[in-house]
Amino acid sequence: MAALMSLVPSACHGPSQPAPTNLPSAPKLGEASDARLSRISASAEATELANSHNPDGPAKTAVFESNSVVRKLAGPATESDRLEAIKLVNSALNGKLNEALTGWAKARGDAEALNARIQSLEQQVAAEKERAKAEMAAKIKEIQDEAAKERKRWIMLSTIGLGALALAAGVVMLVAGSQYPFLGPRMAFATMGGGITLIATGIAVNAIERALEAHPWIIYSGIGLAFAFALVAGALGYSNHRHHVTPEGK
């Protein structure tokens, strides 16, 4: 099986491609995502502060509990985001509602800009990942092609190259046989036959490899057909076994 799979084109059973790393936009995306989570957490904390001034009851409890889930999901906020969010709530609670409304409007605009930046960075990271995967695949293919070229060179040297040497040696034996009795014609023809066999083997292997590179489905179709025959043989064997151990009529 190992010898058979070695003939399959390298692109069909090459090494698995690792995930690309060192994407230029990935750190920026991480920073932007962390900034969004921090602002979400800070806004939830400020909402809890505002909610603490509401009268006790189901509505106050619902707001508190809902915000606690948001803060758990978002994680801790940075100190600057906390202070900014709490400052707006304190302004509203201290009678500076218009100032707070202006601040919240600006915060919403900043949030929209941050979301747009994150979306853009996500697209950049996806594009960089695809480019990195394509570059990695090209490098892997280059290595595979070089390895295949080296393997073919050794196959040609060990078959056609040695075969040509053996054929030439047989001709020399045939010519020199009259001067050196131990170099008989049968020895010469045997050597030439070995050389011709090696050359034919090299040509056959080269032709087979070219055919498999052009039509890799041949190998997999053959393996699949053999597997199907194996299943049929197993089913027939089981049927014969059942027929043998089960008395007739039962």
Each residue's pLDDT tens digit, 79-112: 999 999 999 999 999 999 999 999 999 999 999 9
Predicted local confidence at residue 178, as pLDDT = 67
**Domain locations along the chain:** 26-135, 142-245
Prediction pTM value:
0.58
pLDDT of 1 over the 50 cut: no
Q: Write the single-letter amino acid at 96.
A: K
Compute CA distances 80 → 41, 47, 76, 77, whole Å: 12, 16, 12, 8
Secondary structure class of 17 (helix, strand, coil):
coil
Each residue's pLDDT tens digit, 140-170: 999 988 988 888 888 888 788 888 888 888 8
Confidence tier at 174 by pLDDT (50, 70, 90): confident
Q: Which is more confident, 65 or 161? A: 65
Predicted local confidence at residue 191, as pLDDT = 80
- Mean pLDDT (the chain) is 82
CA dihedral 199, 202, 205, 211 (to 10 degrees): -90
Query: Residue 147's Cα: distance from chain center in Å?
Result: 21
pLDDT of 41 over the 90 cut: yes
Q: Which H helix or E strand runs over 101?
A: helix 97-156
Q: Which is more confident, 184 or 125? A: 125
Residues 201 and 155 sit within 8 Å (Cβ to Cβ): no
Predicted local confidence at residue 84, as pLDDT = 95
Q: Write the single-letter amino acid at 155.
A: I
Predicted local confidence at residue 212, as pLDDT = 72
Q: Which is more confident, 159 or 246? A: 159
Largest alpha-carbon pair distance within the chain? 124
